[in-house]
């Protein structure tokens, strides 16, 4: 980060540096967002770091960063990237008045489009314990490097979200007020039967973001700070 020093301070620092070892240990760098944080944070540069449940705080981290606007089929979507532990996934979302919508997910060798987009969150005024929302979509999966018959697969999907609780939690020494949200996803086969079903739970804190990821990762660091009242 840029620093402004008086000339005398520069001289003192230069003298100290001349006597110090040439190799220094890495130092903490904190980046602050320049935009106000929204209820569902999505400002460019927002960053969240997670570790697995029970893992050491200095262990493998899964880091999600908002990269900013991107265009898909002529529409603007907000891209975020999740990396760590072999993960490298991008999500493309829109943050609308009636909620948050997921349009696309990409990872090396694969792109999945959801049509219509998945509604991941409701309008902020609607978020409350007991709320349920559901819908159907089609997951259009493309694998360019796969065998010719497997390069494109479309799967009907039903999803159901339910806000099952709101509670105070403490993660890595920091207190949060979170909504506990359950998500169930069902994939259907060609005959209309359920081919697969998966349920996951996440914690969401307004103006902070995801505190417990659906993969059972927990928030240990973020540069998202709610505005003070």
Q: 134 in helix, strand or coil?
A: strand
Look at residue 20 in the predicted model and tell me its pLDDT. Answer: 42
> Residue 137: which H helix or E strand, with range?
strand 132-142
Which residues lie below 8 Å from residue 74, measured CB to CB, with a gap of 6+?
none
Closest by CA to 209, choosing from 37, 83, 5, is: 37
Look at residue 27 in the predicted model and tell me its pLDDT. Answer: 66
Look at residue 194 in the predicted model and tell me its pLDDT. Answer: 82
Q: What is the pLDDT tens value at each position of the chain, 229 positions in all?
A: 344 433 333 333 333 334 444 456 666 555 556 567 899 999 999 999 999 998 998 889 999 999 999 999 999 999 999 999 999 999 999 999 999 999 999 999 999 999 999 999 999 999 999 999 999 999 999 999 999 989 999 999 999 999 999 999 999 999 999 999 999 999 888 777 888 899 999 999 999 999 999 999 999 999 998 765 4
Look at residue 189 in the predicted model and tell me its pLDDT. Answer: 80
Q: Can you tell me which residue has the tokens 């490298």?
A: 88
Look at residue 31 in the predicted model and tell me its pLDDT. Answer: 59
Look at residue 29 in the predicted model and tell me its pLDDT. Answer: 57
48 Ramachandran zone, left/alpha/beta (phi>0; psi -120 to 50)? beta
């Amino acid at each position: 980060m840029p620093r402004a020093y008086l000339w005398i301070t520069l001289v003192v620092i230069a003298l100290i540096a001349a006597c110090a070892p040439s190799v220094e240990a890495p130092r903490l760098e904190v980046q602050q967002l320049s935009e106000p944080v929204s209820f569902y944070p999505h400002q460019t540069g927002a960053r969240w770091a997670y570790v697995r449940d029970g893992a050491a705080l200095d262990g493998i981290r899964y880091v999600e960063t908002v990269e900013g606007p991107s265009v898909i089929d002529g529409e603007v979507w907000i891209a975020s990237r999740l990396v760590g532990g072999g993960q490298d996934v991008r999500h493309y979302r829109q943050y609308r008045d009636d909620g948050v919508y997921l349009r696309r997910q990409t990872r090396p060798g694969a792109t999945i489009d959801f049509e219509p987009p998945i509604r991941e969150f409701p309008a902020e005024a609607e978020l409350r314990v007991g709320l349920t929302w559901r819908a159907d979509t089609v997951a259009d999966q493309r694998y360019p490097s796969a065998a010719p018959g497997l390069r494109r697969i479309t799967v009907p999907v039903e999803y159901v979200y339910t806000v099952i609780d709101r509670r105070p939690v403490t993660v890595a020494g920091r207190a949060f007020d979170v909504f506990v949200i359950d998500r169930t996803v069902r994939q259907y086969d060609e005959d209309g039967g359920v081919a697969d079903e998966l349920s996951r739970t996440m914690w969401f804190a307004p103006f902070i973001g995801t505190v417990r990821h659906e993969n059972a990762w927990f928030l240990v660091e973020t540069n998202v700070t709610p505005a003070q009242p």
